[in-house]
């Protein structure tokens, strides 16, 4: 019996697979609920939240946004080149993707260090509780994304086998989820409150 071919343009087979999209939906709902709670709590004490937000370094946040957006572009290029079976170029752009993730984590570490040095810890006030929980949870996602991309990178380096397109797309989909979550967090936490 012949296996049916998968039509990747079919909505039931989105890039990365349906399970990855279920995970992304759940993650976005989780972050969305937390952001709604942050905004709701900020309405109870707007001065505290505004003053606390001003203690954040928006330049760091903006630079990290650029790191992730450029990294996302490189990830899209990686997938495009992989589909064209240009594996060496795909590997190069994957390294650039990962570099963007590592730069994001490095700058976030500097930012965290500065906040801790100034005493703005998780229990400083409710704004900083949200700040640490939301950005920390996002950092965990970036770390997981880098681990996934590392597996993809090392499988690209093996000459005998190449990763499956579905796995490549799943890696890219997870990485783009990290970008999207940051694009929700950055304006709400760093700019709006």
DSSP 193: -
Those residues whose C-beta lies under 8 Å from the C-beta of residue 33, and which sit 6 or more positions away, are none
The predicted pLDDT at position 94 comes to: 93
Q: Could you tell me the CA-to-CA distances from 157 to 16, 96, 101, 144 in Å, in that order?
A: 21, 15, 20, 20
Contact 35, 188 (CB under 8 A): yes
The predicted pLDDT at position 163 comes to: 75
DSSP 84: T
pLDDT(76) > 80: yes
To the nearest 10 degrees (0 to 180), the angle between helices 87-117 and 165-185 is 30
Tracing tokens 């995970």 back to the chain, one arrives at: 23
Q: Could you tell me the CA-to-CA distances from 59 to 39, 128, 140, 147, 159 in Å, in that order?
A: 22, 18, 22, 27, 42
Q: At 153, is the pLDDT very low, low, confident or very high (cuts 50, 70, 90)?
A: confident
Contact 134, 34 (CB under 8 A): yes
The predicted pLDDT at position 95 comes to: 94
The predicted pLDDT at position 57 comes to: 94
The predicted pLDDT at position 103 comes to: 98
The predicted pLDDT at position 127 comes to: 92
Q: What is the token pair recorded at 175?
A: 């990485």
Contact 80, 93 (CB under 8 A): no
Mean pLDDT, residues 179-186 taken together: 92
Q: What is the token pair recorded at 122?
A: 């998780």
Output the furthest CA–CA distance in the chain (Å, rounded).
68
Tracing tokens 């949870």 back to the chain, one arrives at: 137
Domains and CATH numbers, the chain: 18-192 (1.20.120.80)
């Amino acid at each position: 019996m012949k296996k049916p071919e998968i039509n990747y343009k079919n909505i039931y087979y989105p890039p990365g697979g349906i399970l990855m999209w279920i995970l992304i939906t759940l993650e976005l709902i989780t972050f969305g609920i937390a952001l709604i709670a942050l905004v709701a709590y900020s309405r109870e004490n707007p001065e505290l939240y505004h003053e606390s937000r001003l203690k954040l370094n928006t330049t760091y946040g903006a630079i990290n946004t650029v790191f992730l957006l450029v990294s996302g572009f490189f990830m899209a290029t990686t997938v495009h080149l992989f589909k064209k079976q240009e594996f060496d170029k795909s590997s190069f752009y994957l390294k650039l993707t990962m570099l963007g993730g590592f730069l994001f984590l490095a700058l976030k570490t500097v930012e965290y260090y500065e906040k801790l040095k100034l005493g703005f810890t998780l229990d400083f006030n409710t704004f900083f509780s949200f700040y640490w929980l939301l950005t920390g949870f996002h950092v965990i996602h970036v770390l997981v994304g880098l681990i996934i991309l590392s597996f993809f990178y090392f499988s690209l380096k093996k000459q005998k086998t190449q990763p499956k397109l579905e796995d490549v797309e799943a890696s890219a989909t997870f990485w783009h989820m990290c970008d999207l979550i940051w694009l929700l967090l950055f304006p709400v936490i760093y700019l709006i409150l």
